[in-house]
Amino acid sequence: MLLDAASLYFRAFYGVPTSVTSPDGRPVNAVRGFLDMTARLVTAHAPERLVACWDDDWRPAFRVAALPSYKAHRLAADGGEETPDELGPQVPVLADVLAAAGVARVGAPGYEADDVIGTLATRAAGPVDVVTGDRDLFQLVDDDRGVRVLYTARGITDIEAVDEAAVTARYGIPGRAYADFAVLRGDPSDGLPGVAGIGAKTAAALITAFGDLAGIRAAAARTVVPAAPLTAAVLRKLHAGAGYLDAAPVVVAVARDIDLPPLDDALPRRPADPGRLAALAEQHGIASSVRRLGAALGWPADALA
């Protein structure tokens, strides 16, 4: 089970009221929500391995170089990611709790959590559940290898299992074609404009007809007599968007072969540092969430003693 950590702690922050605070009055709603969600997921799906995948770089330079608009609308004045004031201080607390609990957490300099997830999912020998609220990761869905997305559709409890059939049912495209579909249609939430004038319906029709983005562009290059779905209007739009289509796949495609540090991703059967975890639980008023996580992981009753 690969957790898209930033996606989940943002979702937890907005799904749990900021009135959930530590004993000294600081919000811990994102920490509580993340831990409770993880406990429910482990209980429901019983993974053998668990990794919290981290954004070491939320806006990697190689993606910005390819498409300067990538996530530009989310830039804060200091050049970092715009984050609610009450969320920022909770992120290092969550990292400390995961470390003390012994839950594997991994990021990679210059890469997003998506790329960590893509690499670990590609390396995995068995089935993989990717937990995220980011549709970009639908591109990893692979029925043959047992890779699916547990999509946090709303809040922190509404989770939809997405396999290839679900992608097809939702978008009308082959299950593994999501990245090319996203390039064509665009995604305003990531600053990805798409090809001007080509929406989801046309993008799906093009992918269904020609298989992938390379096939679409090859067909557009050789088409002399326009015919649906490569109508004259669509051809004009594809030719006008050629520069964007050259750059966007680098932005959208999840890396699958990055270098990662050695990783012990087995479920922790006891806390890695019981004393530290107990102290963090008391300091931040999250003891009940820590106990729920411990119960889901099968910790003995005296794990924090």
| 26 and 157 together in one domain | yes
* Per-residue pLDDT reduced to its tens digit, 119-138: 999 999 989 999 999 999 99
Classify residue 182: in a domain, yes or no.
yes
Q: Provide the number of structural domains found in the chain.
A: 2
| 85 and 146 together in one domain | yes
Q: Is the pLDDT of residue 149 over 70?
A: yes
CA distances from 270 to 197, 296, 302 (A): 55, 11, 10
The DSSP code for 224 is S
Quote the domain boundaries for residue 73.
2-172+255-297
| 30 and 140 together in one domain | yes
| 101 and 212 together in one domain | no
Q: pLDDT grade, residue 155 (50/70/90)? A: low
pTM across the whole model: 0.95
How confident is the model over 189-215, as a mean pLDDT? 95
CATH number of the domain within which 196 lies: 1.10.150.20
Task: Give me the sign of the Cα torsion angle 62, 67, 73, 77.
Answer: positive
Strands of the sheet with 128-132, listed across from one edge? 104-106, 51-53, 2-4, 128-132, 147-154, 158-162
| 102 and 239 together in one domain | no
